[in-house]
Structure 1
């Protein structure tokens, strides 16, 4: 079993897009997959209950299939910071409440498992805790999604500094081009490649339809130590 925590340099940098692509790449390599987004805000009311689009995208890449309740134990309707959504719903949001759901997914021992955070590295939970504390408790190596746009180098290096200060290894990173009009794009990518202390798993261009298979074609699992099954 190999598991990673997916973090982003900010909100709306494409964490789920990249996570789904990584899971799809693993499936194409013949590996079993599992994923969990322990808390998600911005969910839709359905006849089956609240459903979050990001969690559904992850669920679609789990093989063997996982029930939605396993993939997304806590969903909130407002598209706001998770800790505020939880407070408004009267739900305790903490490492202690989120960890059991993650451990249930990890216990399935898929070949490749991803735990996706929300927003950036220091997104608050409650009682002074952050999502970083959850990653620390699980002792998972981190894959960082860098949303490539103006300012991304600073955001990336500060995120890496925080991850390493928290005692977790950076297993790899992905350059996700969220703004293809970024000035000096190639120079920015070169600077990231030079400064980041881990392997780049790939550069994902801005895709008109960012489906998991198209994203997977831009990524490599080799730096994560994953080998295709024969």
Structure 2
């Protein structure tokens, strides 16, 4: 399992999740990959994954709230409560059905799930190895430092950072906005690669090729790379 979290909304969680899923489909067809979006507020991710990876919305997303707001606010507007046990049960079912499960978080590590819990609480309590997606833009260094500190405070099993280009950027711009060596030095956390700008997240060949930019052996250390299935 792997939790894909980030610094904030629109940072690139869906891009990384889709990249890994496309890579698995193309290069590890002997393995069955699942995608879980435990909570979704508003339309978007679950519909995308269902369409592109041929999964049922019910399989992908156990808790849905109509308002595109933070979960406790969306739940309050809907007159309901968020029952994280429902999402936990969905994860356990997926662990039995799939060889590997990609769990896409909501918002960033500090995004509230309830009035008492944030995404980092879920990562810790569910013991989910986590990758932090940091968007390449002005301020990326500070975002990385703050969110790694948050992950350490909550004892999240952080495997590393993946940088993501939300728009076309030159190598010089990437180096200026999000220098990997400086981020690693400041956070004591490895940068596991940088996703280029992906103009079409429904192009599975493009997504699978983008995985070459990532240190998959670190990002997915228990995954079979020699054709042997390993359940993690």
Q: TM-score, normalised by structure 1?
A: 0.82
Query: What CA distance in whole angstroms lies between the structure 2 residues aligned with 1:168 and 1:125?
Result: 16
Query: 1:213 aligned to 2:205?
Result: yes
Change (3 A) 1:60 1:196: farther
2:24 equivalent in structure 1: 26
2:110 equivalent in structure 1: 122
2:224 equivalent in structure 1: 227
Aligned residue among 5, 8, 13 for 1:7: 5
Check whether the contact 2:134–2:140 (CA below 8 A) recurs between aligned residues.
Answer: yes
Check whether the contact 1:9–1:120 (CA below 8 A) recurs between aligned residues.
Answer: yes
2:70 equivalent in structure 1: 81
**Aligned with 1:218: secondary structure?**
helix
Query: 1:113 aligned to 2:105?
Result: no
The structure whose residues are more often strand, as a share, is 1
Query: What CA distance in whole angstroms lies between the structure 2 residues aligned with 1:156 and 1:204?
Result: 16
Structure 1, 191-200 or 128-137: larger mean CA deviation: 191-200
Check whether the contact 1:94–1:129 (CA below 8 A) recurs between aligned residues.
Answer: no
1:46 equivalent in structure 2: none
Q: Which digits, 9 at most, give the CA deviation of each residue in 1:122-147, with x for residues without a partner?
A: 11122311222221221011011111
2:39 equivalent in structure 1: 39
Q: TM-score, normalised by structure 2?
A: 0.82
Structure 1, 92-101 or 177-186: larger mean CA deviation: 177-186
CA deviation after TM superposition for structure 1 residue 179, in Å: 4.3
1:150 equivalent in structure 2: 138
1:57 equivalent in structure 2: 48
Check whether the contact 2:169–2:197 (CA below 8 A) recurs between aligned residues.
Answer: no
1:48 equivalent in structure 2: none
CA deviation after TM superposition for structure 1 residue 117, in Å: 0.8
Q: Tell me how large the CA RMSD over aligned residues is.
A: 2.4
Check whether the contact 2:20–2:208 (CA below 8 A) recurs between aligned residues.
Answer: yes
Unmatched 5+ residue regions in structure 1? Answer: 44-52
The structure whose residues are more often helix, as a share, is 2
Q: Which has the higher contact order (CA 8 A, sep 6+)?
A: 1
CA deviation after TM superposition for structure 1 residue 216, in Å: 2.8
**Aligned with 1:208: secondary structure?**
coil
Check whether the contact 1:149–1:179 (CA below 8 A) recurs between aligned residues.
Answer: no
Query: What CA distance in whole angstroms lies between the structure 2 residues aligned with 1:229 and 1:60?
Result: 30
Q: Which digits, 9 at most, give the CA deviation of each residue in 1:33-83, with x for residues without a partner?
A: 01110111122xxxxxxxxx3123334566xx6432121112222222222
Q: Which digits, 9 at most, give the CA deviation of each residue in 1:121-177, with x for residues without a partner?
A: 111122311222221221011011111111111111111111122112211321101
**Aligned with 2:179: secondary structure?**
helix
